[in-house]
Structure 1
């Protein structure tokens, strides 16, 4: 059957999301052609601000790379603008002469930035903030110019101002209204935002109307003149005063437009062969500029392009959850109170928190939040569903978690949401979709969730909610980098650093004691904070504090990794990856006796017995008569080795003996996250030491030490740390670094993330450059290990592994 031809004009988020939805419904229905006016594949326009600040690159914000188009058989024309639609011939014509036929056409031309109609608006140095080209112009200007002025105090204007300031420019923001973000915030919240931004170095000229852009004889911007006659010197002008639907192409083709390309509830234009989605569209008289409604449109348009014919778009209820230069703000509904409403407000300017809830006729009709937006999704549900709130009123200001059910604002309130609750407004992803993906696909990171569900992949303001769902599903196994500026969890306002400091300074040696002193919001904490508290307390006060069994994951309690089918995997320890015939026989016997479905060699040179029933675990460990490999805990996992000089022609040192010595010394060590080591006998690095938390590489004159490697989803190459000569030097430097990491890192923070936060030079100054401090750190580690050591540690000398500091002999 011959495929129909579909042409998409516009390679942005709305048009390509429509294609993604269409490919799910019927991937073989159309021969698809996409025209994009920019030289890049589909990218996340919401994340232009981090590109401007230098936090990300264009590569980081690409949503669909060229490989995606190729894999789906999509013909893509980049840097190619469609200039004409010939409806009679059903063809489009591009500026490079390309002519393409269509059976169905999807217009997704987005919007254009509005340029103030004032004299001088075409001078060199007047730009907008809409696409990558604009970002490139601003980045270049920041290297040459000193003073930038942003016209517009909306979200884009503030993000542009912040980005230019972060690149060293002096930045002024000119805004016509009396308050910033006047469509998203009320006056009180906007005032707090302005104060915070002024503290960051931005200056504001409020209530100013631009009369002209001033320039010199060379046609270059030199300043602005306002209606009141005052002037402002500036080298760069960024206009961020709004957008207008890009309807020019549709109008030329005779397609009906009115404040946008007019579409019906199926996203069809007045020409039934032509659909339109995105910011270029006017639906029931409304043109939407937020991503979430555009993605709702995309789903309906795809439904009809696939001839399913059942979807309808009736408009969107919108909320705004934004992160303005790192500050969370949220608004929904009618948050400007009047004579028919009553407002409940909470204002803490010192703490940076403001909440305003507007009630009409016993129903929540509006919410405006600044600083603390964790309950925004709940408030939005109440507004959208128009539920009576009389019974909730007493607790309304304190969030969903204040309603009981052992919940609290944050972690448990998210866990308690119904599966239908929307978590990611940008992409319309509900809680149930995320939870299902985590459980069925074995997801452990927010990045994996982004790839599978697209939640948190647009503006990023729902990332904390996604993190909370991840933790509520898999607990401490969640691979999340804690943020030093964020509260430890919803149970407290304190950060990880503040909690660690209090535990040390106040000599807190139990979780109940810590919860009382820190005035925890919940009686017993939650699945997020209890493991962290347990680690902080036991690592700070070894010998005094005892590990709390109730704060350990089931994996840690049974010494095995739970699998997705409810069975467990058992990994016995093999010191440095070395085993014996007797151990292998015992493993084989256990595999036969308990009908183990899979026996697998792990990447860490150990043997994994997969598919063991929980009730068989005690007997399996007894029959194995081997130590646990801790393949489940936040502790030392393995020390991977190569054979070294004993057998290898290129080996320069006894890497196997060194690995065994390290593993025996560190066995049972608890840590903020899992720790993996590797020892290579020569620079050929067969043990992959370059991507381990600590990598040791033998050279002719001793050992080179590397730290902060990570072989996970995002591979981190270990950084050179020190060069030492003897076995004792290796043990002391490695032990001291690990103790520094134990004392300073936050729970669930890998060594690479810890070093990114504190800097490699800091770790070097404490361990490599300061011999006395190194010795003290090492001594504290050995003292802690005397209490933390695995119960199997006393059996070390009875195992067939080799002696600690002597070359390996077989």
Structure 2
């Protein structure tokens, strides 16, 4: 514990990145900071990864909870919920919360996440058009997903798939629309995406690719969705899941350097050395991330840095690991084969199995696994380290390792 008064640390945002940062900070330097965390949602941090399971009724809200209120109190953290930060005064080093609370800070951390994108098309403001991002969205979707309802999910990325599967579990007739020629085109090639599409359709979700939404139609609320080719699809509920953008309005209004996200250096500091940012709102070396793993890595680095340790964030090699209707899927690194690289592929569509390695100069550049993802940890280690592959490594990555001892990456 330090001598003298504790530094005043205010954390804006109480999501998964914020909580991981607080956990690491209190482990490394208990009592060093007088911490106040402010969240716009009315509850403490919860597991957003489980939202589709919550939507489908597989888990309840209690299963999504990370830490109870007693954890915050026990670590001396003041938690303010249901009250968005409305302004930052960098000169006075204060933040305005709601309409009547002002919090002074010595250090400020912005973990304000991202906001869902709504297509700039007619009818997107009609009642019945809902995003899929938080607990309130899940509650709104479940209220609309009554017996006999017809639901359309726009967006064939990870969140769109999860929303469609969750609705299908509720017994709602669900159609998934995606403007591209394959699902999850950033993570999957055509062969892997075809297996995922089959798995989703097996759960009763209708999938339409190359489906460009023109407008949502209805008198007073959603009644139909019209595609650019003129097709009209009846709908009682439209779930918008076409991506997110970093939440930058608060930082921009405070005069911080903003690009796609809030620009930070390798210590997660913004253009103001007293203000830091992490998670989906942050832009590091021109890159923004919409996954939890980079946010957790940034949280670890920032906690070490604020506690006086040597720490630097160098970026994250992106990897996606999920289950689609029980079908394991893993993707990391590049998906399409760049010039000068080779693809090693093994495919058994009848069994729902697919593996693809992208290799250049005898080093792994990317991997896509469907159906069996046992080697995903090894793949991530190889992508980070750039370790050259032996012939045996190639065989083991493609067909699975037979020895019980883990191989060094």
| Same fold, judged at TM 0.5 (above) | yes
Alpha carbons 1:330, 1:376 under 8 Å: kept: yes
Q: Which residue of 1 is the match for residue 385 of structure 2? A: 385
Q: Which residue of 1 is the match for residue 317 of structure 2? A: 317
Bigger proportion of residues as helix? 1
Q: Which has the larger radius of gyration?
A: 1
TM-score (normalised: structure 2): 0.96
Shift of 1:149: 0.1
Q: Which residue of 2 is the match for residue 125 of structure 1? A: 128
Structure 2 CA distance, aligned partners of 1:70 and 1:339? 55
SS in 1 for 2:332: strand
1:88 maps to 2:78: no
Q: 2:8 aligns with which of 5, 10, 23?
A: 5
- Cα displacement string for residues 500-550 of structure 1 (whole angstroms, at most 9, x for unaligned residues): xxxxxxxxxxxxxxxxxxxxxxxxxxxxxxxxxxxxxxxxxxxxxxxxxxx
Structure 2 CA distance, aligned partners of 1:394 and 1:89? 58
Structure 1 CA distance, aligned partners of 2:282 and 2:300? 15
Alpha carbons 1:378, 1:400 under 8 Å: kept: no
Alpha carbons 2:199, 2:325 under 8 Å: kept: no
Alpha carbons 2:200, 2:324 under 8 Å: kept: no
Alpha carbons 1:375, 1:399 under 8 Å: kept: no
SS in 1 for 2:146: helix
Shift of 1:335: 2.6
Alpha carbons 2:259, 2:283 under 8 Å: kept: yes
Q: Which residue of 2 is the match for residue 34 of structure 1? A: 37
**Pairs within 5 Å for 1:402-481:** 402=402, 407=403, 412=404, 415-417=405-407
Q: Which residue of 2 is the match for residue 178 of structure 1? A: 181
Alpha carbons 1:255, 1:270 under 8 Å: kept: yes
> Structure 2: 5+ residue runs without aligned partners?
none
Q: Which residue of 2 is the match for residue 201 of structure 1? A: 204
Shift of 1:397: 4.5
Shift of 1:80: 0.6
1:226 maps to 2:227: yes
Q: Which residue of 2 is the match for residue 279 of structure 1? A: 280
Shift of 1:393: 5.6
- Cα displacement string for residues 594-639 of structure 1 (whole angstroms, at most 9, x for unaligned residues): xxxxxxxxxxxxxxxxxxxxxxxxxxxxxxxxxxxxxxxxxxxxxx
- Computed over aligned residues only, the root mean square deviation of the Cα atoms, in angstroms, reads 1.5
Structure 2 CA distance, aligned partners of 1:381 and 1:46? 23
Alpha carbons 1:354, 1:371 under 8 Å: kept: yes
Bigger proportion of residues as strand? 2
Q: Which residue of 1 is the match for residue 352 of structure 2? A: 352
**Pairs within 5 Å for 1:298-337:** 298-308=299-309, 310-337=310-337
Alpha carbons 1:148, 1:235 under 8 Å: kept: yes
- Cα displacement string for residues 243-276 of structure 1 (whole angstroms, at most 9, x for unaligned residues): 0000100001111100000001110111111111
Shift of 1:339: 4.5
Query: CA 1:387/1:113 → structure 2, altered by over 3 Å: closer, same or farther?
Result: same
SS in 2 for 1:323: strand
SS in 1 for 2:152: strand
Shift of 1:343: 1.6
TM-score (normalised: structure 1): 0.49
- Cα displacement string for residues 148-196 of structure 1 (whole angstroms, at most 9, x for unaligned residues): 0000011111110111111111000010000011111110010111112
**Pairs within 5 Å for 1:160-179:** 160-179=163-182
SS in 2 for 1:143: coil
> Structure 1: 5+ residue runs without aligned partners?
422-810
Q: Which residue of 1 is the match for residue 243 of structure 2? A: 242
Structure 2 CA distance, aligned partners of 1:31 and 1:245? 27
Q: 1:46 aligns with which of 34, 45, 49?
A: 49
Structure 1 CA distance, aligned partners of 2:218 and 2:374? 47
Q: Which residue of 2 is the match for residue 519 of structure 1? A: none
- Cα displacement string for residues 277-299 of structure 1 (whole angstroms, at most 9, x for unaligned residues): 11000000000111111111111
